[in-house]
A and B are shown apart, each in its own frame.
Chain A
Amino acid sequence: DIQMTQSPSSVSASVGDRVTITCRASQGIGSWLAWYQQKPGKAPKLLIYAASSLQSGVPSRFSGSGSGTDFTLTISSLQPEDFATYYCQQAQSFPPWTFGQGTKVEIK
């Protein structure tokens, strides 16, 4: 199975900060990478698919990049509603589809 490793596991940031989260796959996955946001008590929400495509309705301050094994989620200017946990997921055509362990974005 493909292992997904996120870093950091948590980050403290202030409103307005630029935040970058990285995700590394144990083998190449092309651009088959998705990012999700999860708030406490809620289901994950799809933010980015195909490594860099913004899901409909997601603010443009979120962006994704990368291909192969190394990927990045960037929040260009952190807003109060962005404090949450973020997960990457490899989404190649065949299961199992594995997730990173999550990155918690906390208020500084």
Chain B
Amino acid sequence: EVQLVESGGGLIQPGGSLRLSCAASGFSVSNIYVSWVRQTPGKGLEWVSVIYSSGSTYYADSVKGRFTISRDISKNTVYLQVSSLRADDTALYFCAGNLPFHPWGQGTLVTVSS
């Protein structure tokens, strides 16, 4: 069964950093696109970043320069380093495979608050 499982979210102060993880099973992260998508009640679903099978990476303008996507093929895991966090980065962060997005993980909550 193909599956993605996120972890690493939590409560963090403005300006802080976290590393979110997306562990894959049933397929290799080296063979597909893996994206991060976040969801807030106010802004709905927002694509954040993608790492292609080639290793190329892209970011939404809202996170460019603050977030970094990477992967560890040996661990079959994709990461999202989130830095210089702001209150409006508070969201449920999902990872998702392929395009269009399938499968999705269950999400990990990031709350930015002092």
Contacts and interface: CB of A to CB of B under 8 A. Distances in A.
A96 B99 contact: no
B94 A96 contact: no
Given A43-B94, A44-B45, A95-B58, A55 B50 contact: no
Interface in A55-94: 55, 87, 89, 91, 93
Contacts, number: 50
A34 B46 CA distance: 15
Contacts of B100: 34, 36, 46, 49, 89, 91
Contacts of A45: 102, 104
A99 B44 contact: yes
A96 B60 contact: yes
A28 to B, nearest CB: 18
Nearest to A100: B44
Interface of B: 35, 44-47, 50, 58, 60-61, 94, 96, 99-102, 104-107
Interface of A: 34, 36, 42-46, 49, 55, 87, 89, 91, 93, 95-102
